[in-house]
Amino acid sequence: MKLLVVGSGGREHAIAKKLLDSDQVEQVFVAPGNDGMTLDGIELVNIGISEHSALINFAKEHDVAWTFVGPDDALAAGMVDDFEHAGIKSFWSQSSSRGARVVKRLC
C-alpha cells in the first residue's frame, strides 16, 4: 500500500521511516518533508501542509491508502476532516491518539 505522511519534522520522519519497514507498505510519501528524509528512501512531495485540496488530489492520484497527519496546525485547520470527507482514511498524532496505535500495529 502507499501512504502519505503530512509534515516535515522529526516526528514525521521517524513515522515515515518506520512505516517503510512494513512488508505491507509499498511507498511512503511525505509532504512537504525535509531533505534528510530522502536518505531513508522516503519520497518528498512539494505540497505545503496548508494546501488541503492539493494534498487530497495527490492522495487520490497516487492511490494513497491512508494519510498520517503530524503537525498540530494542520489538525487545527481541519485537515483530517477534509481527508475523511474526500474518502481518504486519516490518522493523526496526539498523546493518546488512535493514529499512534495504528502505526504501531502496521509496523
6, β-bridge pairs:
31, 69
Q: What is the pLDDT of residue 96?
A: 38
pLDDT in tens, 16-51: 999 999 999 999 999 999 999 999 999 999 999 999
Provide the domain limits for residue 15: 2-106
pTM score:
0.83
Which pLDDT score is estimated for 106? Answer: 53
Q: Give phi and psi for 86, each to the nearest 5.
A: -85, 0
How distant, in Å, are the alpha carbons of 40, 74, 75, 91 from that of 52? 26, 9, 11, 15
CATH code, domain carrying 46: 3.40.50.20
pLDDT for the residue 93? 64
Domain count, the chain: 1
